[in-house]
Amino acid sequence: MTSEVTETSNQSLSALSNDERVCLREGSAVLRISESDATSKTKNEITETSDPSEETRMILNMGPSHPSTHGVLRLILELEGETVERSKPVIGYLHTGMEKTAETLSYTQGSTNVTRMDYASPLFTELAFSLAVEKLLEIEVPVRATWIRMLMCELNRISSHLLFQATNGMDLGAVSMMIYGWREREEVLRFFEKVTGLRMNHNYIRPGGVAVDLHDGWQDDLRNLLEIIPPRLDEYDDLLTGQPLFQKRLQGVGSLNTSEAIALSATGPILRSTGYDWDLRKDEPYLAYDQVDFDVIVGTHGDSFDRFAIRLNEVRESLRIVEQILDLMPSGDYRIQDKKITPPPRARIDESMEALIHHFKIFTEGFHVPPGEVYAAVESPRGELGCYLVSDGSPNPYRMHIRGPSFVNLQTLPHLMRGGLIADAVAVISSIDPIMGEVDR
């Protein structure tokens, strides 16, 4: 009896046009119940409602501490047998009020704060924040700083996507992939450590430029990286892409079409996997992306396999960009020489009183930013990462908001999981690649 009801409701669902389906208030894939409600229902296991379609449905709680939830994502799943009917991602377990904290930190300290949001690709949040501050200050950073930023961001995209390959493999049971992914990511992080001094949370891209210039011999380190990674990517292809078992786990699992993705404000690989060509690096070029040659990778089916393949090939495109940057890197300053914004060189402090005063002012009070509000967006590995900044003329932002791509992309999760098996839910979560630090901020 129950199955009949589900069938008819499915039929009426398929009759709806695609973005109407995500618009549904009742009967959509999103389970809109409160957390306490879910907890009480979990205790009874099988819900006792008068609605016959819900008679045999079970509410299952998954997470927040679960190895496949990439941190502290909690899911409330409504199951019919082993099939996921509706679901609700419950977030906030990693909420530390970073937007509130930002209001008490100066612009100089701000990048230290934002870098901790998306901890798998910290340079992108720093970049979005710095671009927003620079727009308010109406300053142009030196060309070399722009290119260094681009180089570091592309390397960060590589390390972030390699991390995805590792965790995705682990979630699907290809555990050896986890070791390989971490291994290659470590190579990139080693380069980061040489440049920024830190493996993660770099605080490298700052308003006015970057923290330090590239070290001597950075070209050799990069060439070494460009030699190591491509053959390993081909290994991944052998290990994963061509494997029938791996394909069976991903192909056709968690499908989305373009109009649904756009209606749900999804960006990044999720939107591109539906065959929609949208990449801010191409469509709204920032930094110097209009001067390098690369392709935007799009999928066809919008399933988990496409999202996996897009990320794998984006690593190749990023390597292509890095190779071009190696030849095109201009010389010059790595940060703007404006004593009101960037600190003077260390040696000057010993000789010049003014330099000492500027240094002291920047690191105690910070610099003043003219009043205004601005939005700056960059293409992070997960999609559009935006920073909305309001300044009241003081050295602290009046309001700083980060539009986290993971936070918004997480809305597609119930729609991707609907009708799939609970075992596939793990594959779907992994293919969204949410970073909880950025979801909860």
Asked if residue 263 binds another protein (CB under 8 A), the reply is yes
Please state the closest distance from residue 418 (CB atom) to another protein, in A. Answer: 14
Please state the closest distance from residue 212 (CB atom) to another protein, in A. Answer: 29
Exposed / middle / buried, residue 271 (Cβ in 10 Å: 0-12, 13-18, 19+): buried
Q: Select from 140, 234, 235, 283 the one that contacts another protein (CB under 8 A).
A: 283
Residue ranges in 2-21 that form contacts with another protein under rule CB under 8 A? 19
Exposed / middle / buried, residue 1 (Cβ in 10 Å: 0-12, 13-18, 19+): exposed
Q: Select from 185, 281, 403, 418 the one that contacts another protein (CB under 8 A).
A: 403
> What gap in Å lies between CA 141 and CA 384, rounded to an integer?
22
Q: Select from 27, 52, 81, 97 the one that contacts another protein (CB under 8 A).
A: 97
CB 168 within 8 A of CB 426: no
Could you list the beta-strand ranges (E) of 6-82.
57-62, 74-80
The torsion angles phi and psi of 195, rounded to 5 degrees, stand at: -80, -50
- Compute CA distances 140 → 18, 145, 185, 438, whole Å: 44, 10, 32, 28
Q: Select from 246, 308, 334, 388 the one that contacts another protein (CB under 8 A).
A: 388
Q: Select from 58, 200, 239, 390 the one that contacts another protein (CB under 8 A).
A: 390
Structure tokens at 122: 């910290």
For tokens 């493999």, name the residue. 169
Asked if residue 138 binds another protein (CB under 8 A), the reply is yes
Judged by CB under 8 A, which stretch of 10-18, 27-35, 43-51, 359-367 contacts another protein? 27-35
Judged by CB under 8 A, which stretch of 169-177, 339-347, 384-392, 417-425 contacts another protein? 384-392
Asked if residue 371 binds another protein (CB under 8 A), the reply is yes
> What gap in Å lies between CA 355 and CA 360, rounded to an integer?
8
Positions that interact with another protein (CB under 8 A): 19, 22-23, 25, 30, 32, 34-36, 91-92, 95, 97, 99-101, 104, 135-136, 138, 262-267, 278, 283-284, 371-375, 377, 384, 386, 388, 390-392, 398-399, 401, 403, 407-408, 410-411, 440-441
